[in-house]
Amino acid sequence: MSLFDDDFYSSRVSRRKSRWLQEDARQSKVLRSKSNWSTMRVAVLSSTISAAAAALIFGTLFYHGGGSSDKAVPTASAVTATQTADPYEKTITAAAKVRPMVVSVINEQYGVSGFDGSLDSDSGAMEDQLQQAGIGSGVIFEKEDGKALVVTNYHVIAGAERVQVAMIDGTSRVATIVGSDQITDLAVLQIDDDGIGEVAEFGDSSKLRNGEWVMAIGSPLGLDDSLTMGIISKTTRVIPVSLNQDGNYDWEQEVIQIDASINQGNSGGPLIDLDGHVVGINSMKIADLGVEGVGFAIPIDNAKPVIDSLIKYGVVKRPYLGVYTLDLDQYLAQQALTKPKDSLDSPQTGVDGSIVVPDSSNGGDAETSDAVIDDSGIIIPDDVKDGVIVLEAVGPAQEAGLQFNDLIVKLDKTPIGSTMELRKYLYDHKKIGDSIEITYYRDGEKQTAKLKLSEKSKDDD
């Protein structure tokens, strides 16, 4: 038995076929010779006809798009091009699209001193001469009315007396600082747009995926127009940052972690995807012995509103409380290092050196009799483990009555354990003009104050 029951698909000669051959024998020899085909020839002919019919039907449907007559058939050359395109060409195309818009940003200052703190006398540098203090990168993203705008990092232009922008063709021009923001580490510069053609296009960093290929363009170590490539190691990473570079973390930066090489001078340059869109601003790396391939970029979605604010106002407008603070845990750590080992067994002393004896006349109030009094006059209740100490109160805080050595423990109903938490609560949950309630301890007694948040001016920095 064949694989098919239907005689049409079988290679055997059926009874009907046998009868047809017997009847055909009565016909003339001429006709018989024309129709006396072998089984193989019949099979070949059937296969050819079937294939032609299938090709005709498929071609008709494909050409008309299943009934739609306005769709053209893709040519063979187009299909071949799609199938044989080199995927690595995308990196070359994307880089070529953005590289002309990437610039070197040169920070110039007066009397730049050497590593030992002395002036560089060998080069004849004088205190009244501008010298290169640092170099970073930037990218041109907007052009209008004869001016072009460049985004870079705040730390690239910090302290600059003059900023120079070096173009890819080797020419340079003086830049004006439109605005800068230390918190987000972003700055916007303005230059003349002479000779500048296209500008970089911002992408969508929210669509990035772990493992996606990206490229960093900039001037690492002063080597302009350098390109490095890697993948997205983590689309969202929160990194603690010391804004004043004093080793104390007072802000958290949301960044993209990448393994593309980031070196000194890459800061401020663009991180691009394989479509040539800017998806981040390269900002920092972990520079530690044995650490490689851990770099960070500011997501462009986070940078856009900051850039817009810098263009419009020159600053990022944020609510201002008006306190300079020290974290309680940092203060206690400092006290532990400076106090003698036997201080726990010695009586507590006040600011004037007199012995402080807990007052029992108040009925054993826990906030005073159980408080720790140190030699700076701060009284810290035993049940208070976190907070920030006011070093100076100005503006709204001063008007609300806050003083030196007040210990802030809450903003509204939210516990505050560090300067970072205080700043993030203000910037993430409050606006200029909002009211806020502050809970704090003064001389071991809990108090509250209410105030209205104002706008921080440049004079308040």
Q: Among all residues, which ones are annotated catalytic?
A: 155, 185, 267
Give 119's DSSP letter. Answer: B
Tokens at 74, concatenated: 């893709």
How many angstroms separate the CA atoms of 202 and 461, rounded? 31
**HEC letters along the chain:** CCCCCCHHHCCCCCHHHHHHHHHHCCCCHHHHHHHCCCHHHHHHHHHHHHHHHHHHHHHHHHHHCCCCCCCCCCCHHHHHHHHHCCCCHHHHHHHHHHHHHEEEEEEEEECCECCCCCECHHHCCCCCCEEEEEEEEEEEEEEECCEEEEEECHHHHCCCCEEEEECCCCCEEEEEEEEEECCCCEEEEEEECCCCCCCCCECCHHHCCCCCEEEEEECHHHCCCEEEEEEEEEEEEEEEECCCCCCCCCEEEEEEEECCCCCCCCCCCEEECCCCCEEEEEEEECCCCCCCCCEEEEEHHHHHHHHHHHHHHCCCCCEECCEEEEEHHHHHHHHHHHCCHHHHHCCCECCCCCECCCCCCCCCCHHHHCCEECCCCCEECCCCCCCEEEEEECHHHHHCCCCCCCEEEEECCEECCCHHHHHHHHHHHCCCCCEEEEEEEECCEEEEEEEECEECCHHHC
For residues 420-446, b (16+ Cβ closer than 10 Å) or e, as one string? Answer: bbbbebbeeebeeeeebebbbbbebee
